[in-house]
Structure 1
Amino acid sequence: MIELKNIGKTYEDGFQALKDINLEFEDGKINVLIGPSGCGKTTTMKLLNRLVDYTSGDILLDGESIKQTNPIELRRKMGFVIQNIGLFPHMNIYNNVATVPKLLKWDKDKIHQRVMKLLDMVNLEPDTYMNRYPSELSGGQQQRIGVIRALAAEPGIILMDEPFSALDPISREQLQDELIRLQSEINKTIIFVTHDMDEAIKIADQIILMKDGSIVQQASPEEILKNPANDFVKGFIGANRLEERKALPPLATFIQKDFLSVSTGHSIDFIINQMVQEEINTIPVVNENDTYQGLVHLYELLGHKNKSLQNLLTDTDRFIHEKDSIDNVLNTLQEIQGTIPIIDSKNKMVGILDANKLFKAMTENKCGVA
C-alpha cells in the first residue's frame, strides 16, 4: 500500500508544485496520473522513489515512511520505465534486462531463468533477441525491453513515466494491450503517468486527474466518464468521449454469462457432440481453473480427430477484458468476428460478448431511439 498524506512540494524559487496531496494507490492495480502539462503528475510519481523529495507531509510504503529507507535501496524495490526507454546501448538485451538482478547479486542460473521468462512474456523469442543490441530493435521492441527490465527483480511497484508517448500510434496501441495482458499475469502496483485521456481510459483501474498541483478527481475510468466532477474534468475528457459514453452503456451490459464452454479434459468426440447438439461451430476452451485457453472450430475437430485438443486451439489471445472500455470493444469488433470471450484480471472466463445486443444498442442510438 502506498499512501500520500498531506504532501506538498515547493521549489527553491517559491513555485508550489504540489498542494496538500492525499492519495492511496491501489495495490495490484494500474493507477494512472493524468493532467495537463505542469499539473504535478510526474512530480508526484518521482516522489515515490525519491528522485524528488517532498517538503511537507509524508509518503508511507506498507505503513513506513519512505524517508526511513535508503534512496538506492528504495529504487531497487521499484521498477522504473521512462519515455526514452534508457536502455544501455553498449549492452546486449540479456544484460540490459539482467541489470538490477546482477546488482542484487542473484545467482547466474536464477538471472538466466528470469530473463528467458520475461522475454517470452512479451513475445520476444529469447534465442533470437537476447544477444542483440538496442540499436537492432524497433522502437516498440525496445520499449518492451524497457518494461521487462523494470520487472526483472520482481518489484511490487512499477513506475511508468509516459512510456509509450514517443511511439507511433500502432506500436503504442499494441503496447497498451501488452501492458493490460501482462498485468493480468503479474498483478503489480503500477503508477503510470500520461497526458492522453484515451490511454488512461483504456489501461487504468484508477485514474487520478490533476490540475495546478492538486487532485481534481480520483475514480475508475467508468466513474469519471459517468460523473465528471466539474467543468475542468468535462473539458479534459472531451465532449466526444462524454457523448459516446452517454450513447452506449458499459461493457458489463453486453456480457452473456450463460454460455457454453468445454474443458481441456474433454475428448474431441465429446466436444463435437456438444457443438452439434447446440448447433454452434465455435466454442471456447478453458482449463480446470476456468482460465481461457482458446477457441476450437467444429470443422477443424471433424477433420483432425487424431490430433490433440491443444494442437487444435486457435485465437488464444483473442479476448476482451471485462474492464475494457466500450470504445476499446468497438475497436476490437472492427478487427475480429465471431465468438469473443471475455476474461477477468486472472484470465478466467466470465462470459462472451453478446454482439447482437451491442449492435442493436448501436443501431438504436444511431436512430435516436432511447
Structure 2
Amino acid sequence: MIELKKINKVYDDGFQALKNIDLTFEEGQINVLIGPSGCGKTTTMKLLNRLTDYTDGQLLIDGKDIKEINPIELRRRMGYVIQSIGLFPHMTIYDNVATVPKLLKWEKLKIKERVKELLTMVNLSPETYMTRYPSELSGGQQQRIGVIRALAAEPSTILMDEPFSALDPISREQLQDELVRLQKEIKKTIVFVTHDMDEAIKIADQIILMKDGHIVQKGSPNEILANPVNDFVREFIGEERLGTTVSLPPIGELMRKNYLSISTNLSKQETIDFMVANQVSELPLVDEQGGYKGVISLYKALKSKQTNLVELADQSVVTVEETTDVNSIMEQFLQTNPIIPVVSEQNKLVGVLETSKLLDAFHQIFKNKSGVA
C-alpha cells in the first residue's frame, strides 16, 4: 500500500504543483490519475519512484518512509511504462525484457523462464519474438513488451505514464483489455496516468481526478459517474457519460448463501439423481473443506463418460468475491453461466449469484430511473 499524507510540491521558481495531497493507492488495484494538462497527475506519479521529490508531507510505501529507501533500489522495485515505450533498439526483445533481472543478478535459467512466461502472458510466442528487435514489431506489440519489461523483476508496484496514448484506437483498446485481463492474474498496485476519461472508466478500480494541484474527486468509476461533486467534474466527464451508469447492490445483498452444492464424495450417478430431484441444471462442486472445485453441468454429466467429478467440473466459470464490484463487470456476468460462484480469498464457496436475480435487480433499477410503476 502507498500512502501520500499532506503532500506539497513547490518548484524553485515558486510554482506549487501539488497542494495538500492525501491519497492512498491500495494493493492490487488499478489507480488512475486523470485531469487536464498541468493538474499535477504526472508529478504525483513521479514522487513514487523519486524522479522528483516533494517539498513537505509524508509518503509511505508499505508503512516505510520513501526517503529512507535508496532511490536506485526503489526504482528497481517498481515497474515503469512510459508513452514512448523506451525499448532499447539495439537489443533483442529477450534482452529488453531481461534488463532489470540481469541488473539484479538473477540466474540465467530463471531469467529465460521469466521472459518466456511473460511473452506467453501477452500472447506473443517466445520462440518467435525473443530474438526479434523492436523495429520488427508493430507499435502495439512494442508496447506489450514495454508492459512485460516492467513486470519482469516481479515488482509490487507498476507506474504507467500515458502508456497507450500514442497508439491507434484499435491497438489502444486491445491493450486496455489486455491490462485489465493481466491485472486479474498479477494483482499488482498500478498507478496509471491518462488524460482520457473513457480509458479511466474502462480500466480503473479507483479514479483520482485532479485540477490545479488539488484532488477534486476520487472513487470508483461508478461512484464518480453517479455522483460528480461539482461542475468541473461534470464537464470533465462529459454529459454524454453521465446518467448512463446503473448502480447495483453489493454482491452480499444479491447472492444466496445457502445454495445447493455437490460434494466431491458423491458418485456421478448420485450427482445426476440429486440434480434431477432438485430440478437444477448446474451446481457448484465443493470438497470436504468447502473448497470450490468448479461447476457441474447436468447436461455434461449425462453426456460424458467421465466419472471423476473434479475432472467433470467446469473450472472456467467466472467466480467472484463478496467485495467484487458487480457494476463494473455486469456485462461479463450476463454472458456467463446461470450461476456465478462466490468464493472467499481462500477459494471456499460462500454463496452463489444467479444471473436471473442480477437481471431482476437491473430491471428494477431501470424501472425506478425511468419512473415506470
Same fold (TM over 0.5): yes
Return the alpha-carbon distance in structure 2 between the equivalents of residues 143 and 265 of structure 1. Answer: 48
Query: Aligned ranges for residues 1-370 of structure 1 at < 5 Å?
Result: 1-169=1-169, 171-245=171-245, 247-250=246-249, 252=251, 254-262=254-262, 268-284=268-284, 295=295, 297-306=297-306, 316=316, 318=318, 323-324=324-325, 326=327, 328-330=329-331, 333=334, 336=335, 338-339=337-338, 341=340, 348=347, 352-364=352-364, 365=366, 368-369=371-372
With over 3 angstroms needed to count, the CA separation of the structure-2 counterparts of 1:346 and 1:234, relative to structure 1, is farther
Per-residue CA distance 1:237-290 (angstroms, 9 max, x = gap): 344444133x54346365455544557776544543443333333445567887
Contact 1:319 1:340 in 2 (8 A): no
* Structure 1, 54-63 or 148-157: larger mean CA deviation: 54-63
Q: Which amino acid in 1 is paired with 2:327?
A: I
The TM-score normalised by the length of structure 2 is: 0.79
| Identical aligned residues as a percent | 62
Deviation at 1:157, TM superposition (A): 1.5
With over 3 angstroms needed to count, the CA separation of the structure-2 counterparts of 1:267 and 1:340, relative to structure 1, is same
Q: Which amino acid in 2 is paired with 1:27?
A: E
Three-state SS of the structure 2 residue aligned to 1:112 is: helix
* Structure 1, 317-326 or 25-34: larger mean CA deviation: 317-326
Per-residue CA distance 1:268-319 (angstroms, 9 max, x = gap): 4454344333333344556788777655543333333147667656572756
* Structure 1, 66-75 or 91-100: larger mean CA deviation: 66-75
Contact 2:225 2:243 in 1 (8 A): no
Q: Which amino acid in 2 is paired with 1:114?
A: R
* Structure 1, 29-38 or 344-353: larger mean CA deviation: 344-353
* Structure 1, 9-18 or 99-108: larger mean CA deviation: 9-18
The count of residues paired between Structure 1 and Structure 2 equals 367
The TM-score normalised by the length of structure 1 is: 0.80
Deviation at 1:87, TM superposition (A): 2.7
Deviation at 1:123, TM superposition (A): 4.3
Contact 1:254 1:358 in 2 (8 A): yes
Return the alpha-carbon distance in structure 2 between the equivalents of residues 216 and 93 of structure 1. Answer: 41
Three-state SS of the structure 1 residue aligned to 2:243 is: helix
With over 3 angstroms needed to count, the CA separation of the structure-2 counterparts of 1:324 and 1:60, relative to structure 1, is closer
Structure 1 residue ranges without an equivalent (≥5): none
With over 3 angstroms needed to count, the CA separation of the structure-2 counterparts of 1:124 and 1:52, relative to structure 1, is same
With over 3 angstroms needed to count, the CA separation of the structure-2 counterparts of 1:235 and 1:141, relative to structure 1, is same
Structure 2 residue ranges without an equivalent (≥5): none
Q: CA RMSD in A?
A: 3.7
Three-state SS of the structure 1 residue aligned to 2:59 is: strand
Contact 1:202 1:325 in 2 (8 A): no
Q: Which amino acid in 2 is paired with 1:329?
A: M
